[in-house]
């Protein structure tokens, strides 16, 4: 007689005699027949088609106007001036005129756009100090080495904010004006606050503690980025909630774009006065541009984008087209399967017959 197996034998390692561990639970295995598969394919094609048409109509209900001013006739002088780095401190303004044929109704969003500017390069994206941007005192005067070569200025002062991202901030400014039929020119007010994400504005970006000091005193001992025309505490001196590291323009720029062609929000039409209470009326407009940002070094382009939005966002045709293409592919597969079933599988026939 063999010896009985103890707890260390095979019986001890066997799973419990339960329906779950012994895999005796009831199961359902679908029978994939033509009567179940083909209706499913046609149904999914119809759903994708309806979604694609609905989203396409939604996108087309938005209005958008793009205005490339890189080498516009009135801005050609500024374009040539920015070719020389030594002219960086000199100001240059130009005015671009355009016409809106159909009124932009509702909220109108004002964007600036860049082309061929690669914010998604790893070295560029790493060139920043998030600890400094949340106002840590030790990081304000001792930024991360990731910011090199934009960590200190030539005199040895720490740069705030440091890094290539902040140093290359887009610094053109715009003034939108409406030319009424009477000949009067009305300035279109743009909201320059509330442009950034809530988490960015109140969590990821904070000014250093002032301790009853002014913001300028809190940044004492630091230097602005090399290509900036003014320090960070003078970005918006009139509004403490939009100055320093919590400035909306800075925050919007610091959120890097994924593609080389992108646009970033500059302002939102403030619809509190006539004739802008319902949006931008049709007519003649002009944009006064403070032309500062050079694009010659990377062969880029600059543009202004005026657009309305819906619940789906701005004028982006990618998702509607993706649904329509998916619907077409599913419908094509369904038709092919129907033909194969009709020819070889209907009535019990098969390939051998």
Residues 263 and 323 in one domain: no
Domain annotation covers residue 27: no
Residues 75 and 120 in one domain: yes
What residues are paired with 103 via a beta bridge? none
Residues 131 and 189 in one domain: yes
What's residue 347's pLDDT? 62
Residues 255 and 208 in one domain: yes
Q: Cα–Cα distance between 178 and 286 in angstroms, integer?
A: 7
What's residue 353's pLDDT? 42
pLDDT in tens, the chain (353 residues): 445 555 566 667 788 888 888 888 888 887 888 888 999 999 999 999 999 999 999 999 899 999 999 999 999 999 998 888 777 778 899 999 999 999 999 999 999 999 999 999 999 999 999 999 999 988 999 999 999 999 999 999 999 999 999 999 999 999 999 999 888 999 999 999 999 999 999 999 999 988 888 999 999 999 999 889 899 999 998 898 999 999 999 999 999 999 999 999 999 999 998 899 999 999 999 999 999 999 988 999 999 999 998 888 888 889 999 999 999 999 999 999 999 988 887 665 544 44
What's residue 95's pLDDT? 95
Q: Cα–Cα distance between 257 and 237 in angstroms, integer?
A: 28
Domain annotation covers residue 214: yes
Q: Whole domain around residue 253: which residue ranges?
A: 65-308
139 Cβ partners below 8 Å, 6+ apart?
Answer: 129, 131, 132
Classified as helix, coil or strand, 22 is coil
Domain annotation covers residue 8: no
Number of domains within the chain: 2
Domain annotation covers residue 304: yes
What would the pLDDT profile of 116-149 be if each residue is shown by its tens digit?
999 999 999 999 999 999 999 889 999 999 999 9
Residues 329 and 269 in one domain: no
Residues 144 and 230 in one domain: yes
Q: Dihedral sign, CA of 311, 316, 322, 324? A: positive
Q: Cα–Cα distance between 265 and 255 in angstroms, integer?
A: 11
Q: Dihedral sign, CA of 338, 342, 343, 344? A: positive
Residue 67: enclosing H or E segment and its boundaries?
strand 64-68
What's residue 174's pLDDT? 97
CA angle in degrees (0–180, nearest 5) for 149-155-161: 50
pTM value? Answer: 0.82
Radius of gyration of the chain (CA): 31
Residues 251 and 327 in one domain: no
Kindly give the residue spans of alpha helices, DSSP state H, lying in 93-135: 122-126, 130-133
Domain annotation covers residue 185: yes
State both tokens at 124.
């560029």
Q: Dihedral sign, CA of 35, 36, 42, 43? A: positive
Domain annotation covers residue 280: yes
Residues 56 and 69 in one domain: no
The position carrying tokens 């690669």 is 118
Residues 49 and 127 in one domain: no
Residues 171 and 214 in one domain: yes
What's residue 218's pLDDT? 92
Percent of the chain past pLDDT 70, that is, above it, reads 95
Q: What are phi and psi of 255, to 5 degrees?
A: -85, 100
Q: Cα–Cα distance between 141 and 5 in angstroms, integer?
A: 72
Please give, one letter per residue, the 3-state secondary structure of 99-167.
EECCCEECCEEEEEEEECCCCCCHHHHHCCCHHHHCCCHHHHHCCCHHHCCCCECCCCCEECCCCHHHH
Domain annotation covers residue 17: no
Residues 116 and 208 in one domain: yes
Residues 70 and 57 in one domain: no
Domain annotation covers residue 274: yes
């Amino acid at each position: 007689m063999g010896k009985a197996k103890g707890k260390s034998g095979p019986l001890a390692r066997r799973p419990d005699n339960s329906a779950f561990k012994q895999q005796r639970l009831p199961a359902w295995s679908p029978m994939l027949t033509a009567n179940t598969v083909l209706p499913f394919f046609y149904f999914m094609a119809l759903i994708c088609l309806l979604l694609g048409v609905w989203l396409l109509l939604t996108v087309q209900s938005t209005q958008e106007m793009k205005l490339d001013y890189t080498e516009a006739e009135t801005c050609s002088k500024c374009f040539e001036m920015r070719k020389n780095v030594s002219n960086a401190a000199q100001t240059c303004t130009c005015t671009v005129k355009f016409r809106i044929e159909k009124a932009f109704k509702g909220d109108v969003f004002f964007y600036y756009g860049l082309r061929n500017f690669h914010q998604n390069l790893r070295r560029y994206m790493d060139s920043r100090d998030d600890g400094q941007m949340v106002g840590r005192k030790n990081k304000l005067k001792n930024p991360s080495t990731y910011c090199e070569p934009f960590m200190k200025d030539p005199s040895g002062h720490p740069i705030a904010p440091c890094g290539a991202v902040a140093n290359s901030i887009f610094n053109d400014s715009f003034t939108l004006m409406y030319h009424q039929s009477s000949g009067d020119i009305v300035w279109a007010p743009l909201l320059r606050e509330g442009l950034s994400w809530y988490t960015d504005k109140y969590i990821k970006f904070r000014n250093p503690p002032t301790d009853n000091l002014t913001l300028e005193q809190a940044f004492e001992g630091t230097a602005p980025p090399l290509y900036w025309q003014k320090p960070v505490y003078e970005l918006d001196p009139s509004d403490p909630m939009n100055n320093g590291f919590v400035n909306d323009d800075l925050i919007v720029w610091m959120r890097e774009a994924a593609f080389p062609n992108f646009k970033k929000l500059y302002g939102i039409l403030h619809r509190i006065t006539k004739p802008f209470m319902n949006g931008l009326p049709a007519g003649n407009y002009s944009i006064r541009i403070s032309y500062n940002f050079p694009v010659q070094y990377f062969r880029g382009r600059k543009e202004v984008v005026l657009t309305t939005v819906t619940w789906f966002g701005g004028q982006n045709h990618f998702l509607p087209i993706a649904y329509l293409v998916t619907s077409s592919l599913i419908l094509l597969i369904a038709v092919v399967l129907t033909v194969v079933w009709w020819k070889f599988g209907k009535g019990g026939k098969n390939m051998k017959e």
